[in-house]
Amino acid sequence: MIKLCPVEDLAPGTVTRIATPDLPVPLALIKVGERIFCVDDTCSHETASLSDGWLDGHEIECPLHESRFDVRTGKPDCPPARRPIRTHDVEVVAGMVCVDEASVAVAREAAR
């Protein structure tokens, strides 16, 4: 497991970007109500950081080109993004939000 941040740092309705040397790609943590969702922070279309985008319920809108991704499934609702973003299960261990290493690992050529 990779530790991401203290759970108390996350506020409902906000997106928190996590980029640490442990992580192969930056992640975005989204708290909706009491649930915490974790997705790849980089839009599947180009290089925008989704944590700069707008959160509306379970949907996060890319700040550049307006594709909206469902943080539960990773699926985009409209172009230009056609591919989903990856979603990752997180656990809270001793007050820290943690993500499975295998889930966030990327094939070398897929990393941006």
Strand partners, 99: 2, 90
- Report helix, strand or coil for 50: helix
The distance of closest approach from Cβ of residue 64 to another protein in the complex, given in angstroms and rounded to an integer, is: 6
The distance of closest approach from Cβ of residue 43 to another protein in the complex, given in angstroms and rounded to an integer, is: 11
Question: Of 46 and 89, which has the nearer Cβ to another protein?
Answer: 46
Question: Of 6 and 54, which has the nearer Cβ to another protein?
Answer: 54
Cβ pair 13, 103 in contact under 8 A = no
- Report helix, strand or coil for 107: coil
Question: Of 95 and 112, which has the nearer Cβ to another protein?
Answer: 112
Interaction site with another protein (CB under 8 A): 48-49, 52-54, 61, 63-66, 78-80, 82
The distance of closest approach from Cβ of residue 73 to another protein in the complex, given in angstroms and rounded to an integer, is: 16
CA 73, 61, 50, 35 torsion: positive or negative?
Answer: negative
Cβ pair 78, 69 in contact under 8 A = no
